[in-house]
Amino acid sequence: MKHPGQLTGAKASQIFNAINMGLVLIDASERILMWNDWMVKHSMINAKTALQKTISDVFSDKPSAAFLTSLRNTIQYGLPAVLSNALHRSPLPLFNPGELSEESGRMHQSITITPLPAGPDETHCLIQIMDSSASIKREKILRSHSEIFRKEATTDSLTGIYNRRFFDEHFKMAMGHSRRQQLPLSVFMVDIDFFKEYNDYYGHVAGDKALISVAKTLKSQLTRASDIVARYGGEEFILMLPNMPEELAMQFAERLRAAVWESAIPHLKSRISEQISISIGISTYLLGQDVTIQHLLEAADTALYKAKQNGRNSCCYLNAQSIIDLAGVDKS
């Protein structure tokens, strides 16, 4: 008489087939002894066909080399193994229904191989296969959302270039690098001339388009990954170019001014021309100067003001050290 708690073969089979994962039992010769309904569903191979075949022969596409190596180590040495989906995407040719004919539809899998003693000198293996496709998709969505949030946090939503927050953070790092490496660092303050008049005459939609166009033009002049252009606020932009001495900075500023001028965006309400122009203030951190980030920004901003006083559509340079000297600022 059977003990009340003892499972019959039929009852055990019902349980194995009800479990929402693949269960495959193989002997020491890699022959299949159990193949549950989950495996039938996702391999399209019925149990009768699978039983007594080797795990390598049952599939039309052989299991991955990593899977077979892990399986044989478990049989030979009794070592359990785990094949995570992070390193082994699809060790077995299993599919979700409706995707059976597509290679891209292969199921992401997490596989555990457990040794089961079957006799004094024989080991069977229980292979458990979990469908990881849903978790992989969730992870991709989370990564995508994270990238979107990161981009929104560092990018100006209108122009697509960096925003002021990104510039401020990277400016600090670039300034520290220039000090340590004893290299120059140039900053450019750029302002669109008479932009209020442009908005008043053409409207804010046209004004937004003009800002986008100028931003693209400025960005197109950058040639190094370390060069940064950002929207600093309103119609004002700021650029930072590491390892650029003052003589080259003036040449580069003129290139920026000319590039925007040559884009020939109509501006009938400008007081100096009938197209959009920019004014630029430049300053450079030079070897040996004991200036701060704020001094460098103030120098570029003051130079921009002077460029406007000089009639706009022009570039002006101001040594950052002069900000300290003129204002009597304590350099500490």
The three-state DSSP-derived secondary structure of 33-85 is EEECHHHHHHHCCCHHHHCCCECCCCCCCCCCHHHHHHHHHHHHHCCCEEECC
Q: Which of 103, 197, 235, 298 is catalytic?
A: 235
How far is 238 from 161, CA to CA, in rounded Å?
Answer: 11
How far is 260 from 252, CA to CA, in rounded Å?
Answer: 13
CB contact at 8 A, 29 and 11: no
| Helix count and strand count (H, E) for the chain | 11, 10
Q: Which residue has tokens 């920026």?
A: 256
Tell me how many degrees the CA angle 90-91-93 measures, rounded to the nearest 5.
Answer: 75
Closest CA to 63 of 106, 87, 93, 39: 93
Residue 152 appears among annotated catalytic residues: no
How far is 66 from 274, CA to CA, in rounded Å?
Answer: 70
Q: Estimate the crossing angle of helix 164-181 against helix 133-154, to 10 degrees.
A: 80
Question: Judging by DSSP bridges, how do beta strands 32-35 and 109-119 pair with one another?
Answer: unpaired
Catalytic annotation, residues = 235
